[in-house]
Amino acid sequence: MKKLMNLAVFTLFFGLGAVLFSLTANAYIDPSAMTYIVQILVGIVIAGGAAFAFYFKRISRWFQRKFKKNGTAVEDANVPGNDDLNEADEFDEFDDEDE
């Protein structure tokens, strides 16, 4: 609890200090600065999409395993974590190539 209180005081102190003691700057902003802002936003969107896809896949696997244990899931040979069926599919692929 003490760590949380210290963090709150630290954040409040520097947050108020930044707001109260800031000065306005009449400075020139380079037109290429917009390019940097776009790069940052695109990077954030791509990283967010990758994180969403990663966690969506993990959550969907969890639901597939949960429903498979209850017997309510549809049997699927490509369900992740079902190694017996996936290995059988790999061998079937090799058999088809020989023909």
pLDDT, tens digit, 9 for 90 and up, residues 74-84? 555 555 555 55
Can you give the pLDDT at residue 86? 47
Q: For residue 15, what are the CA distances in angstroms to 12, 21, 24, 32?
A: 5, 10, 17, 29
Mean pLDDT, residues 49-65: 90
**Helix residue ranges per DSSP H, the chain:** 2-20, 33-70, 83-98
pLDDT exceeds 90 at position 29: no
**66 has pLDDT over 90:** no
Res 18: pLDDT = 86
**Pair of tokens at residue 29:** 């902003």
| Distance in angstroms (rounded) separating the CA atoms of residues 64 and 76 | 10
Residue 39: its pLDDT value, please? 94
Q: Is the CB of residue 88 less than 8 Å from the CB of residue 82?
A: no
Query: Can you give the pLDDT at residue 72?
Result: 56
Higher pLDDT, residue 61 or 85: 61
